[in-house]
Structure 1
Amino acid sequence: MTPLQPVILGDMPSLSKLYVNAAAQAARRRLLGTHDSSVLPLESHEVRGVTVDVANLTAYQHLLGETASDVLPAGFIHALAFPLAISVMNRDDFPLPLLGMLHLRNSVEQRAPLLFTDALDITARVENLRGHRAGTQVDVVAEVRVAGTQDVCWRGISTYLAKGVFLPGVDKPSSAPVRRDFKAPDPTGVWQLGVDAGRAYAAVSGDFNPIHLSVLSAKALGMRRSIAHGMYLASRALADVGSVRGDSFTWDVDFDAPVFLPCRVALEISSDQGGSGTWKRSDFVAWNPRSGRCHFSGSVAAL
C-alpha cells in the first residue's frame, strides 16, 4: 500500500508523550469498547532535516560496543526513526493497541552509509495487517534519506503482534508455523545483563516503554519481570559481528522468547567467507544458558 499523502511533522515526536497518550487511549477503549476497524491509516508520518546529537551517538556506541566512527550504526538509525514509527501506531485510526505489542521480527537494509553530520529525512508508515495464531500482526516501515534527496539509504521493517486482539475481517492462519527444534551450540560469547539493562538502553534510544524499565511497570502490563529491548539485543549482536559487515548490508532478526532481566545470555556467531575469502554473511543465535531456550536469531549479509 502506498500512502496517499505524508503528514509532515515539525519535529521528531516525544516518545514519553506518545506512551502517555497510548495509555490514555487504552483507557478510552476499555470504557467505550474495543476498536473494531480493520483498516490501517493511509498517511505516512515524516520529519525532515533531523540531526544527530553527537553525545547521544557516543553514549550509544559505548553501551552497544560499537566502534567509534562517523558512520551511524544501523541500530542507532532504528532508534532515531523509532519515535516516528510509534507516532503512526499512536494515531486514533490505528486499529491495534500500542501498549503491550510484541516485537516479532526486524528486517533492515543498510543501502548506503549515513554520517553523523548528515541531516536526515525520515518517514514511517504501517502496512500488511494480517492474522496471527495469537492475535493480529502489522508491519511498521521506516525509511531514512539524506535530507533533500530521494534515495533511501536505510530501510527497516518491524513486525509487531497485538496478542489476543482479533479484528473482524482479518483471517487467522489455518495452522501454526512449525517451530524448529533448537539445540544450543557452543557459545562464542556470554552477556551478563543487569536489572538496569532496559533503563540503560532507554537512556540512549529514548524508548522508555514501561515493560523494559522495572518489575512494577512491567507487571502493570502483564509481564512477570522487566524485559530487555529486542533492538538492544539485536543491535548488540550486530556490534559483535563487527566492522567486517562494511557499509552496505542486510540485517534480519527473529525474536523467539523475551529476555527477562537480570539474566545471562549466551551467543554464537558464525561467519561465511566467499570463494575469494571475502566476508559474505554472519549468522547469530542467542539463548538462555540455563534453560537452553532460544531468545533470538538472525543474520547479517553483504548487499
Structure 2
Amino acid sequence: MSAPERADVVLGSVPKLGPLYAAAAGKQAAGWRRRRAVRGRGPGAPEEVLRLPAVRHVVRGVAADPGRLAAYQRLVGDALRDTLPSVYVHGLAFPVAVGVMVRADFPLPLLGMVHLGNVVEHSRPIGVGEELEIAAWPENLRAHRAGTRVDMVVEASAGGVPVWRGVSTYLAKGIGAAPELAPGEPRACLPPAPTARWQLDAATGRAYAAVLGDYNPIHLGVLPAKALGLKRPIAHGMYLAGRVLATAAPNDCGYRWSIRFEAPVFLPGTVEVALGPHNGTVDFEGWNAASGRRHFAGRVGALPPAET
C-alpha cells in the first residue's frame, strides 16, 4: 500500500507547548460533552470512525539556543559540546508534533496518552549553529487491547537532507479498545548488576520542563498528576532516555537508538540502571529494585559507515 499524500501546513515558528496543552484540555472537554450527547441518543447511535489527518506540520529555520542546550546537557549529565544530543533534537521538534495532535481532526486525546517508546535515527552529528527544517505527521493508527496506538513521525533536515528521524509511539487508553487482541507475553525482569543508580527528586519533571518546555501536567506535581489518574508525578520518558544517551551515545558519528517504556518512574524515585555491550551496540535497562518492575529498556549503536 502506498503512503498517503499529505498536505504541508507551514508554520511561521515552533509553537509553544503551554498553549498547546491548554488547547488539548479544551478539545478533550468538548469531546467528552459530545460523547455524552451521543450516548444519550440511545441504542444504535453511530460510533466515531478514527482517521488520522493527512497533513504534515512544517517549521523552517529552527535553531538551538546555546544557553538552553548547555542547561539540557547539565541536567542529564552530558558533556558540554557544540553538537546536539539526540533527545535535545526531539525537544526542539516535539511542539511541532504536539501541534498535530491537538488539531480538531486528530482523533485521539493528547492528555493522558501513554508514551510507549521511540525509535530514532540520528544520521550524523548536528552542529549547534545549523538551521533545521522540522516536519511532523501521524501514521500507523492501529488497535491495542487497551485502546488505540499511533506513531508520530518527526524529521529534521538540514540543507534539504534528513539528519534526524524519530518515531514516537503512543497509546490512547480506552479509545477503540480491541479486547479480542491477546495480551503479549509478560516480560520477565531479571535485572543484571546495576552500573548506575539514579536518585530522582520530586522536581525532576519540572526541571526537564524548564529546559525543553514540556509542561505536561503528569510530570509537574501531585495535584495535576492525580487529575489525570496518577498517584504522583512521573518522570518524562525522554529525560530517562537522555540520561542513558549521555553515557551510551557515540556522539562523533551517526547512531540509531530505541527505547520502550514498561512502567512509569514516579517522583521522587530511585532507578537502577545497567548498560552493557551487545554485538557492537549498547543494551540498557532501568528498573525499580524494590518492586522488580522494569521501567525501560533499549539499545543504542553507531550506524554503519555507508549510512552516515
Q: TM-score, normalised by structure 1?
A: 0.93
2:29 aligns with 27
C-alpha contact (below 8 Å) 2:144/2:181 kept by paired residues: no
1:224 aligns with 231
Deviation of 1:262 (Å) = 0.3
2:181 aligns with 174
Structure 2 SS opposite 1:200: helix
1:93 partner amino acid: D
1:164 aligns with 174
Counterparts of 1:45 and 1:173 in 2: how far apart (Å)? 35
Deviation of 1:210 (Å) = 0.2
C-alpha contact (below 8 Å) 2:205/2:235 kept by paired residues: yes
1:267 aligns with 273
4+ long deviations beyond 6 Å? none
Change (3 A) 1:232 1:3: farther
Counterparts of 1:51 and 1:109 in 2: how far apart (Å)? 19
Gap runs ≥5 in structure 1: 274-279
Alignment coverage as a number of residue pairs: 291
Gap runs ≥5 in structure 2: 37-46, 304-308
Counterparts of 2:187 and 2:273 in 1: how far apart (Å)? 18
2:43 aligns with none
Matched, 1:60 2:72: yes
Describe the superposition over 1:201-228 as per-residue Cα deviations: whole angstroms up to 9, x where unpaired.
0011110000000000000111110000
1:300 aligns with 300
Counterparts of 2:59 and 2:192 in 1: how far apart (Å)? 44
Counterparts of 1:20 and 1:214 in 2: how far apart (Å)? 17
Deviation of 1:247 (Å) = 2.2
Change (3 A) 1:233 1:179: same
Which of 151, 154, 161 in structure 1 is aligned with 2:161?
151
1:16 aligns with 18
Deviation of 1:245 (Å) = 5.3
Counterparts of 2:302 and 2:122 in 1: how far apart (Å)? 10
2:241 aligns with 234
2:133 aligns with 121
Structure 2 SS opposite 1:115: coil
Structure 1 SS opposite 2:21: helix
Which of 257, 264, 285 in structure 2 is aligned with 1:251?
257
Matched, 1:199 2:206: yes
RMSD between aligned residues? 1.4
Change (3 A) 1:2 1:114: farther
1:78 aligns with 90
1:281 aligns with 281
User: 1:28-47 alignment to 2 at 5 Å?
Assistant: 28-33=30-35, 36-47=48-59
Q: TM-score, normalised by structure 2?
A: 0.91
2:166 partner amino acid: G
Matched, 1:89 2:101: yes
Structure 2 SS opposite 1:250: strand
Deviation of 1:173 (Å) = 5.9
Deviation of 1:37 (Å) = 2.9
1:301 partner amino acid: G
2:291 partner amino acid: S
Counterparts of 2:132 and 2:102 in 1: how far apart (Å)? 23
